[in-house]
């Protein structure tokens, strides 16, 4: 099992807009790709950090999904709206079960 995560810090004063955008993007990806993507927000520790999670059967499945999304113009249109909602760029992590 492989777990992919992406995280991003919400820009100051942008919490409601960033949360709404994160939920809408997550739902869009679920519908379009038949995904089990989920989204969370830290309430302790790095408060204001949004984290997306999805489990895959293999690294090859992660790579396939990333290729699909990177080629999706509608995805790029949706993420172009994010520049003012989050600080810096996203941070991705891929983990495998032991």
pLDDT tens readout for residues 7-16: 999 999 999 9
Reported as a single tens digit per residue, the pLDDT across 51-89 is: 999 999 999 999 999 999 999 999 999 998 788 999 988
3-state secondary structure of 2: strand
CATH of domain 2-96: 3.30.70.100
Domain ranges of the chain: 2-96
DSSP 91: E
Question: What's this model's pTM, rounded to 2 decimal places?
Answer: 0.89
User: In the structure, what pLDDT confidence band is assigned to residue 46 with cuts at 50, 70 and 90?
Assistant: confident
Closest CA to 91 of 16, 4, 19: 4
Q: Identify the H or E element spanning 95.
A: strand 86-96
């Amino acid at each position: 099992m492989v777990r992919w995560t992406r995280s991003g810090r919400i820009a100051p004063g942008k919490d409601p807009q960033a949360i709404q955008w994160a939920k809408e993007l997550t739902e869009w990806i679920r519908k379009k790709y038949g995904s089990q993507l989920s989204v969370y927000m830290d309430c302790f520790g790095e408060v204001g950090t949004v984290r997306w999670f999805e489990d895959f059967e293999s690294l090859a499945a992660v790579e396939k999904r990333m290729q699909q999304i990177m080629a999706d113009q509608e995805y790029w249109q949706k993420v172009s709206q994010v520049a003012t909602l989050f600080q810096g760029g996203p941070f991705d992590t891929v983990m495998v079960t032991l």
